[in-house]
Amino acid sequence: MAATLILEPAGPCCWDEPVRIAVRGLAPEQRVTLRTSLHDEKGALFRAHARYRANARGELDLERAPALGGSFAGLEPMGLLWALEPEKPLVRLVKRDVRTPFAVELEVLDGHDPEPGRLLCRAENQRDFLQPGMRREPVRAGRVRAALFLPPGKGPFPGVIDLFGSGGGLCEYRASLLAGHGFAVLALAYFRFEDLPEDLNDVRLEYFEEAVDFMLQHPEVKGPSIGLLGFSKGGDLCLSMASFLKGITATVLINACVANTVTPLRYKDMIIPKLVDDLGKVKITKSGFLTFMDTWSNPLEERNHQSLIPLEKAKGPFLFIVGMDDQNWKSEFYAQIASERLQAHGKERPQIICYPETGHCIDPPYFPPSRASVHAVLGEAIFYGGEPKAHSKAQVDAWQQIQTFFHKHLNGKKCVKHSKI
């Protein structure tokens, strides 16, 4: 009997959905190598491989069989996805156009390294970023430049604004995936996109206030408030939005600072200065990558008091997602400052989830952990930290925690469907 590669689900699935990979029709105890490959929109190639041994019936199920080596080892049912590595160094896998899927090629080859033998079978796994029936609406409302994602079915839906960091542009993949779990999500650009400023040097909170108003006035968004999801620089912007703007009742921060960073933030007649930094303290790793963690001064120092964000003014709870090996800044320390400040003002202590061996860029599940890549604005190779296996597990759990938090505080639900992994 010829070998057959079996995928469950067999057809297209969402990127954040696990897929079961099995092989039938092998010889008893046969040694095989499984390979995956993927091309991004710019043609960059990402590959992974792992060595396995079939059971006595000539079957292989990645949910039960541990990898014997390769890009990873051990029981890792989704390892062939999260272990994808770029053919050219320092290329990070991101989805630029969520309207098209990623096509993951899977191959089964006879034997093990260094030279696997003949190709036994292959299959393709189409991984979508827009569920059937989901709507993507480009937003050009006043000054706001964004993309709104609406789930299938009849609204209104709980609303979330999603902000990325200092790379700029419009990043839609996290928003599109989150919308698949029942939220109306606005992926919001704030510089380096269309007619927005090219540089991050004149940031005004009124722009973000306009985005909040847009969401609250949208007929498909369930009021009277929305949530915020921010990563890195986008995280401290979300803290400022929650602290100064109305209509926000739940805020999630992924590796964010409790002070305003990078550039002063203006709102009406108020200016929040940036956290004092010293680029002379940039460190270079043995591999030649830059790390910025030591460039940031302590937010609790007297000279930084004006840059601290008064998050005690916020009207809703916070969830801090922390990578404990974040090499960009001291995310765990910042979350602790937030907790102490809120408690000192008699406010609810934030939920803080710390993930060991996890770096700065915590993406939705199954994106390969980015330990280092070239920064879109700086043009330099930045070291972000994290160990791939631990980081990938953190991404799966953090994604569930984010959904649970928003469902609880925006939708009144206590739980969500949990990953099979």
Active site residues: 232, 326, 360
Three-class secondary structure of residue 344 per DSSP = helix
3-state secondary structure of 62: coil
Report how far residue 292's alpha carbon sits from residue 128's, in angstroms, rounded to the nearest whole number: 34
159 near 165, Cβ under 8 Å? no
How far is it, in rounded angstroms, from Cα 19 to Cα 336? Answer: 37
* Distinct helix (H) and strand (E) counts, the chain: 6, 24
CA dihedral sign, ordered 238, 243, 246, 250: positive
Distances (CA, A) of 308 to 35, 239, 279: 48, 10, 20
Rounded CA gap, 373 and 394, in Å?
19
- DSSP E strands in 172-284: the ranges are 184-188, 203-204, 221-231, 248-254, 265-267, 270-272, 283-284
**In a 3-state reduction of DSSP, which class is residue 367?**
coil
The string of DSSP codes covering 268-320 is TTEEEPPPPB-GGG-EE-TTS-EE-GGGBPPTTSGGGGGGB--GGG-SS-EEE
DSSP E strand boundaries for 164-257? 184-188, 203-204, 221-231, 248-254
